[in-house]
Chains A and B, each alone.
Chain A
């Protein structure tokens, strides 16, 4: 099953995606809300692993965002600021 192992790493998956990263984030968590959030569910359900909880802070790797919007809807405290990236930025799907 070697060929499957090769497919199973998130970094390898994201490596196939074409991004034009912006210099500022389009995902804006309210850290005070994140601190009281129990589930921190965005760190789990995000298909691009954008969110991680490090040093009592939600770290946002917005450059990897696939712009699906799941984090906004799943956010336990409904506090996540979520916008589309600027017009010439973000993800470009070629095979969607």
Chain B
């Protein structure tokens, strides 16, 4: 046996990699977690909020000690026109399935420290350049300075996963398969945040933002309240930005100027600007997630449910399942694809693949009629409320009739049945098969 060898190497200290590594360490096996940033979380960006239930599966008591910002009590769905908007607000009575806003630079770092306490060997500031192969098996990694061997290598190296590509498990990713997200965090006093969002110091609010500068595009804006700051950002499918030749930060600047959003950020001081890719290819773009001596988790496996803003939870649970499989494979001393297939099976039986399969046709379906679903209808909803709230001494019946007539005359007559058919097909694919 080589002296520079361990049981498992996990590449990438994000939610997937940490969850995988800690699961393996808890079973008494040796695991090395390699992170390329200065600390775990330093290269990571998300909206964002984490979800209590899946996080508890990895860290049962995290609510007591983890660096949490605010517990979500309000969800707002903002449907923005060019300069108007309709906002639906849901006030939640948080239960054990709550979500929390966190800052990745603090939270991921905390998770990695907890993992170290349980025996994970964390190696930071180290880039894995290549995977080492022997007789068709992945047997280790080559970093910038050395070669390191393991029975199993887990790739949790994020959306760009250069390593999965290197060993041919992952097909070429196209601009349709990812969203480019830009985000800005604004410092605001705690009491101002509480007043603006109608929350107490422990409570938080999430905005999901449709339309506005993203009208007609597959894109989504978001706003999260932290303790002393507000995160605002948006993600737009890269292919839309390419097609329309748009600068992502200019879209974000426009969103910040929208009358529905601007007052929320007023007088904020920009703390940090960031950007990240979100894997959005969905079910059809999940790569081959196992090979001889190797498994892929989290963003690297394209495990994101964009319809429900879920990513870190899929990352954590996929990491945990891969970790459990690694432990069993170590027990059997069998690291072949046939042995690691347990991970693929467990993933298949979990909510992760089930949910991604549920939404497999959603993005392509909506994307095909983007100018209708993502521009016409949002505008129409706003114009309905404009009509409903306007007092101009015209008879109401006349306004109603005019509005209803416009639905049939705004566009080609055939668009309405086409949309209805598309909606039925999508509903069918979501609910039935």
Contact = CB atoms under 8 A, between A and B. Distances in A.
B296 interface: no
B37 interface: yes
B272 A4 contact: no
A7 to B, nearest CB: 6
B171 to A, nearest CB: 12
Interface in B195-248: 229, 231, 238, 241-242, 245-248
A68 B159 CA distance: 9
A21 interface: no
Contacts of B249: 10, 13, 47
Scoring A1, A7, A14, A72 by chain B CB atoms within 10 A of each residue's CB, the highest score goes to A7
- A-B pairs, 6 with minimum CB distance: A47-B275, A13-B273, A96-B45, A87-B125, A95-B272, A96-B104
B160 A95 contact: no
A22 to B, nearest CB: 12
B287 interface: no
A81 B42 CA distance: 23
B157 to A, nearest CB: 9
Interface in A28-65: 39, 41, 44-45, 47-49
Contacts of B276: 66, 68, 96
29 contacts: A7-B184, A17-B272, A20-B38, A41-B242, A44-B241, A45-B180, A45-B248, A47-B247, A47-B249, A48-B275, A49-B247, A66-B276, A68-B276, A69-B277, A72-B160, A73-B177, A74-B242, A84-B36, A87-B36, A87-B126, A93-B104, A93-B274, A94-B103, A94-B105, A94-B271, A95-B231, A96-B43, A96-B103, A96-B276
Interface string B115-144: 000000000111100000000000000011
B347 to A, nearest CB: 24
Interface of B: 36-38, 41-46, 103-105, 124-127, 143-144, 159-160, 162, 172-175, 177-178, 180, 182-185, 229, 231, 238, 241-242, 245-249, 253, 256-257, 262, 266-268, 270-277
Contact of B127 (A13, A69, A86): A86
B173 A93 contact: no
Contacts, number: 140
A24 interface: no
Contact of B41 (A41, A47, A84, A96): A96
B184 A13 contact: yes
Given A45-B242, A88-B38, A96-B105, A73 B270 contact: no
Contacts of A10: 249
Nearest to A68: B275
A67 B36 CA distance: 12
Contacts of B127: 84-87
Given A44-B245, A93-B44, 15 more contacts: A7-B256, A13-B270, A41-B242, A69-B159, A70-B180, A74-B238, A83-B162, A87-B125, A88-B125, A92-B43, A93-B45, A95-B274, A96-B41, A96-B44, A96-B103
A28 to B, nearest CB: 14
A48 B276 CA distance: 11
B180 A16 contact: no
A87 B46 CA distance: 21
Contacts of A88: 38, 125
A10 B103 CA distance: 23
Among B43, B246, B248, the most chain A Cβ lie within 10 Å of the Cβ of B43
B272 A16 contact: yes
Among B126, B172, B267, B272, the one with the most A-chain Cβ atoms within 10 Å of its Cβ is B272
A69 B273 CA distance: 16
B229 A95 contact: yes
Given A7-B256, A16-B270, A47 B248 contact: yes
Contacts of B37: 92
Contact of B246 (A12, A45, A93, A96): A45
Contacts of A93: 41-45, 104-105, 272, 274
A43 to B, nearest CB: 10
A8 interface: yes
A3 B270 contact: no
A1 B257 CA distance: 8
Contacts of A8: 253
